[in-house]
Structures are given as structure tokens and as C-alpha cells.
Amino acid sequence: MVVSSTATSTRYDLTTMAGSWESLITVALATIFITLAGFRVLLIKLSANQDGGFDYLPVAVNLCAEIIKLLVCSILSLNVITKERLKSCSVFAFSIYDVLRLFKWSVPGLLYFLDNLIAFYVVASFEPAIVVLLNNFVIISTALLFRLVLKRKLSRVQWASLIILFLTIVSLSQHSHEAANYKPHGMTKLNKSSQTKLPSLHQGRCIADVSQIDKCNNLETCTTKLNKWHLLQHLESISVIGKYQGYVWVILQCFISSLANIYNEKIFKEGKGFEDSIYVQNSKLYFFGVLVNFMSILCFNKFWEHTVKCGLFHGFNIFSYLLILDSAFMGLTISLILKFRDNMFHVLSAQLVTVLVIAVSILFMGFQPPIDFFLQAPTVLLSIYVFNISKGQSESPNHRNRTQSTSEPVNVC
């Protein structure tokens, strides 16, 4: 009797320790992601020039971040293969079927490429505090994709909270330009001390001058007079004209980001995916990330001209290099969340980024929003809270029924 009681107590202690360790890891993942995601928005803004554009090539930042992630995961993958004594062919198979399976990672690679690139257009259109508030639209896009793609149903309260969230974001966006008219003393001072000037014709590093700076959607790139022979050059003329261009970028980014994370989580866990090493899976993903970013430089005329005549790192400043590291480690953190948690955990953690960025913007970047901002911003957070609470309540009856059915004692005669 004593032995049985001791064994039960030991199992309980081990279960408690395992649960505590899992909770600690979850909190650590959320904290790291919130910090990196918040500072990524701020670093993009700080790396811009005084006109709100970028003297460097945004795709160069993304390419360097993808290379870092690929190197890290490749080294860890080799370590895993060596420790587990796996043959390389069992991980990186070369049969036709396995090669076709490898290309499934190209889809999230392309989607993340678009998501990371559009982020620069969004930050160039709004202030960081407005960006993180508008990015809450990702909850709506994720819910719609869950309903359409994964056939997950939402309760009426959840749909109502999403409508309130959408209307609040629309109302808040009407004041974004008013809130953006401030003098960011801290940011201006930092930019003046570290901003890389565009070289003139006589400097020899870049054959361009200020009159040749091409402004496309508030993004400045150093252009030259090379012949336009590259593929997809006709796509350069595609742009959304009008004062609502920034909002279009926000909606587009939210849907692309949601689709990328949902698809990535699916292939992370489908079949035997959950048993595969995350480092091997990420190596495949980041291989296509590097490939797509590199191909964009070759295919788009403006990107190619900037790289050839100005250099890949032309226009970089201290914030640009910090942005590379931040983006790389944030991507690695997101992959861990999608692998061992889920996409909704990632989306909900992102909501705390809103609080972090707004606080930093007000305290250190001179952000002075109108009174409407303080009245409407809490409504966004409250609607998100209602959405999550209603989700838990809608699932609780089934959960209780399952619990009761499994916990009812069996009558033994």
C-alpha cells in the first residue's frame, strides 16, 4: 500500500514538473517573439531616411536574414543527423517523389517573401503605433481562412467581436494621418547620426544622383540607366494609386501572413512531419526563402540595378544591420511556435506587440496621438479578448462532456 502510494506521488510530481516546464517554455517563446516582433517594426522605421523612405534595398535585408536562418538550421541539422546516426539520404532524399515533396516548402517560402517585403511598404505608410494596431486585422484574416480552408466554425459572439474589431480598425485608421503628424525628436536624432547618404555621380560607388531616385510607394531605391532586359519588369508598373494604398498593403499583408503561417503549420505537422526534426524542416523552408529573395533581385530591374551599380549593402545603417538579426531570430522563433504550439498562439501573442510598440512610441519616439486614439485602441484589445473568451466558452461544453465521459467511475460488481 505504501509502495503504491509512493509510486502515484512520484508520477504526480513528474507530471507537475513536466507541465511547469512546458508552461515555462511557452512563456519564454511568447516573450521572445513579442520582443523581436515589436522591435522589428521600430527598427524598420528607424532605418528609414528623413523622408520616410529607405536608402537601402529592403529585399537585401530579407535576403541576409534568410541566409542567417538557413546557416543556423543547416548546422543544427547536421548535428542532429550526426547524433542520431541518420543517413543523409533518409533526410534529403533524391528520388522523384521526395524531390516533389521538397517543393511543397516553396509555397510558404514565397508567401513569407511577400509578407516580409510588404512590411516595409506598410511601415513606410504609417507610424509604428498605427502599424501594429492595423495589423490586428490578421485576426480577421486568420479566422476567415480557418473557416474557408480548415472548415472551423466560429460562434456568433466571435463573429460579432470580429465585426467590432474590423469597424474599430477602420475608424482608427481614419485618424492615422492626423496621429502621424508629429515630430519624432528621438527618431530624427538617431537617424541623423547613422543615416547613409546617397552618393553623388562623383563618388564612383553608385552611378546615380538625387534627381534619379525613383520613389515607388514611398520606397526609395538608387536607380541607374541600365537597359531593362530582366524578367518580370512589367510588374514594376503595378501599384495601387490613392490615399488608401497603405491600407491595401495592410490587408494584403495580413492575408498573406495568415495563409503562410497556416500552410507552414500544416506541413510542419501533417503525416510524420511532427516527428521530423524542426531544423531539417526549416532548412528546406529557408532554402526556398533564400532562393526566392535572390531571384527577386535578378528578376526585378530596380533591384538588379541597385545591386550592380550601388552594391547590395548600399544605404545600410546600424538599424538596418540590427534589423537583419532581429528578422532572422524572429523567423526562427515563429517556426518553433508553429511547430510546438499553433498558429492561433502566434496570432494572440502578436497582440501584445501592440502594447509594446505603442508604449515605446509614446515614451521614446515622440508619438502624440489624439484623444480618439486612446478611446479606440482599447476597443481593439477588448474585441480580441471577447473573441478569445467566447472561443473558450464555446469549446467548454464539449470539453466537459469528454471529461465526464472519461472520468465517470465504472461500476464493478
* Contact yes or no for 306/314 (Cβ under 8 A): yes
* Contact yes or no for 114/256 (Cβ under 8 A): yes
**What distance in Å separates the CA atoms of residue 280 and residue 74, rounded to the nearest whole number?**
7
pLDDT at 105 over 70: yes
* pLDDT at site 196: 34
Q: Return the biggest CA–CA distance within the chain.
A: 98
- Global pTM value: 0.74
**What distance in Å separates the CA atoms of residue 50 and residue 47, rounded to the nearest whole number?**
10
pLDDT at 353 over 70: yes
Least confident piece of the model among 46-60, 80-94, 128-142, 373-387 = 80-94
Cell of 202: 562623383
pLDDT at 48 over 70: yes
Closest CA to 391 of 383, 401, 381: 383
* pLDDT at site 9: 56
**Residue 12: pLDDT band by 50, 70, 90 thresholds?**
low
* Cα–Cα separations (whole angstroms), residue 271 to 103, 106, 163: 16, 18, 36
pLDDT: is 168 or 233 the higher one? Answer: 168
Ordered by start, the domain boundaries in the chain are 27-393
**What distance in Å separates the CA atoms of residue 39 and residue 17, rounded to the nearest whole number?**
33
pLDDT at 188 over 50: no
* pLDDT at site 226: 35
* Contact yes or no for 347/29 (Cβ under 8 A): no
Helix/strand/coil for 260 = helix
pLDDT: is 303 or 235 the higher one? Answer: 303
Task: Supply the DSSP string of 4-47, one letter for each residue.
Answer: HHHHHHHHHHHHHHHHHHHHHHHHHHHHHHHHHHHHHHHHHHHT
Closest CA to 300 of 214, 242, 196: 214
3-state DSSP of 350-377: HHHHHHHHHHHHHHHCCCCCCHHHHHHH
**Mean pLDDT over residues 216-229, rounded?**
41
Closest CA to 376 of 354, 347, 353, 391: 354
Determine what percent of the chain is predicted with pLDDT higher than 90.
Answer: 27
- Tell me the pLDDT tens digit for each residue of 223-260: 333 333 333 344 444 444 456 788 889 999 999 999 99
